[in-house]
């Protein structure tokens, strides 16, 4: 669920000294999943008196409705797609370049690999003064061919040369960005993942009440007295749900229940593996 956030005011006045709000374009391929939530939360946290935020996305789910309800401007550009598709990618680059140039944005803030590539190139071509990119993860991994991995790293390094600030979701992502020399270390910042249940006055997580815990367990069909190990995230390669299942299986403690909350392309396969465990109480998917 998307909830309101404390409004953030800029440390410096808007560029140009005109008194107008700073124009920010938040570019993301799909406004959905964890990346979509983080992008939307960031946009919602901006003080509307100081920032005029537009979300530019190729597609989205319920988060589009949440963004509109929050009063944010939404531009859907269908050519901005997640899979590599040269024709659509070139079309997206042309259209985004025209858009950010015509709208005279002060900042372009991109999320994830595809939007990060197309959006940052468009901002560069249009002469946008500031470019920010958020690394939620990386498009390269150890199971790719050496040539493909090197190509992705090379592209990210080139984009990093004109990225003013790189926001990394978690210390591990930040460390990898530094190790791979994707962006100069002094321009890298580590950020956390936004979640519901925060006390906005202290920025600390609030503990669930006993009634909320009981209600949640009943809803999910969990034993009221069981020890529950939970994970929240998409069931995709990057989240390694197989490791979660393996850990629960090797734990060898039937009184401990594993719970994964989320969907994704691996949901069916992981569900079958979870059901195949000899003790069905060890994992629930």
DSSP 270-284: HHHHHHHSSSGGGEE
Structure confidence at residue 95 (pLDDT): 97
The average pLDDT across 77-100 equals 94
Per residue in 91-134, pLDDT (tens digit) is 999 999 999 999 999 999 999 999 999 999 999 999 999 999 99
Structure confidence at residue 176 (pLDDT): 95
Structure confidence at residue 7 (pLDDT): 38
The structure's pTM equals: 0.74
The CATH class of the 207-284 domain is alpha beta
Structure confidence at residue 103 (pLDDT): 95
The average pLDDT across 84-94 equals 94
Which of 47-51, 135-139, 159-163, 207-211 shows the lowest per-residue confidence on average (mean pLDDT)? 207-211
15-191 and 207-284, same CATH topology: yes
What's the CATH code, domain 15-191? 3.40.50.2000
Which of 3-17, 169-183, 255-269 shows the lowest per-residue confidence on average (mean pLDDT)? 3-17
The average pLDDT across 230-244 equals 84
3-class secondary structure, 264: coil
3-class secondary structure, 26: strand
How many residues does this entry show for the chain?
A: 285
Smallest CA-to-CA distance from 97 within 57, 75, 125, 64 is with 125
Banded model confidence at residue 266, pLDDT cuts 50, 70, 90: confident
Per 3-state DSSP, the chain is made up of helix, strand and coil in percentages (nearest 5) of: 40, 20, 35
Give the pairing of strands 107-111 and 165-169: unpaired
Structure confidence at residue 285 (pLDDT): 55
Structure confidence at residue 12 (pLDDT): 41
In this predicted structure, the answer to whether residue 87 has a pLDDT above a threshold of 50 is: yes
Per residue in 144-199, pLDDT (tens digit) is 899 999 999 999 999 999 999 999 999 999 999 999 999 999 999 999 876 554 44
Banded model confidence at residue 8, pLDDT cuts 50, 70, 90: very low
* Rg of the chain over all Cα atoms, to the nearest angstrom: 21
154 to each of 80, 108, 150, 179, 251, how far by Cα in Å?
22, 22, 6, 13, 41
Query: What is the rounded distance in angstroms from the CA atom of residue 218 to the CA atom of residue 230?
Result: 15
The number of C-alpha atoms within 13 Å of 25 and in the hemisphere containing its C-beta is 30
Is residue 168 within a helix (H) or strand (E), and if so which, with residue range? strand 165-169
Q: Are 96 and 119 in contact (CB under 8 A)?
A: yes
Domain boundaries along the sequence of the chain = 15-191, 207-284
CB atoms within 10 A of CB 106: 19
The average pLDDT across 4-29 equals 64
If one compares 277 and 60, the residue with the highest pLDDT of the two is 60
Which of 45-54, 108-117, 184-193, 202-211 shows the lowest per-residue confidence on average (mean pLDDT)? 202-211
Structure confidence at residue 19 (pLDDT): 74
Running DSSP on this structure, what letter comes out for residue 135? E
Report the chain's mean pLDDT, rounded to a whole number. 85
The average pLDDT across 2-27 equals 59
């Amino acid at each position: 669920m998307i909830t309101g956030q404390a409004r953030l005011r800029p440390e410096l006045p808007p560029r140009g000294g005109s008194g107008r709000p700073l124009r920010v374009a938040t570019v993301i391929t799909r406004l959905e999943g964890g990346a979509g939530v983080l992008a939307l939360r960031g946009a919602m946290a901006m003080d509307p008196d100081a920032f005029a935020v537009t979300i530019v996305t190729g597609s989205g789910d319920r988060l589009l409705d949440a963004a509109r309800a929050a009063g944010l401007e939404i531009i859907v550009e269908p050519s901005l797609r997640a899979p590599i598709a040269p024709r659509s990618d070139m079309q997206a680059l042309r259209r985004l370049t025209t858009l950010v140039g015509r709208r005279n944005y002060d900042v372009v803030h991109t999320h994830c690999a595809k939007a990060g590539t197309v959006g940052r190139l468009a901002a560069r071509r249009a002469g946008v003064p500031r470019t920010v990119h958020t690394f939620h993860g990386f498009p390269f991994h150890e199971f790719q061919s050496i040539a493909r991995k090197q190509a992705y790293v090379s592209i990210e390094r080139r984009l990093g040369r004109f990225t003013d600030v790189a926001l990394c979701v978690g210390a591990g992502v930040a460390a990898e960005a530094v190790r791979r020399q994707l962006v100069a270390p002094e321009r890298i910042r580590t950020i956390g993942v936004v979640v519901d249940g925060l006390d906005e006055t202290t920025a600390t997580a609030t503990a669930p009440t006993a009634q909320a815990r009981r209600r949640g367990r009943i809803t999910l069909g969990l034993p009221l007295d069981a020890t529950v190990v939970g994970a929240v995230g998409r069931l995709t390669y990057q989240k390694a749900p197989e490791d979660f299942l393996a850990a629960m299986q090797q734990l060898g403690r039937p009184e401990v229940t594993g719970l994964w909350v989320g969907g994704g392309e691996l949901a069916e396969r992981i569900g079958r593996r979870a059901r195949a465990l000899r003790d069905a109480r060890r994992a629930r998917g």
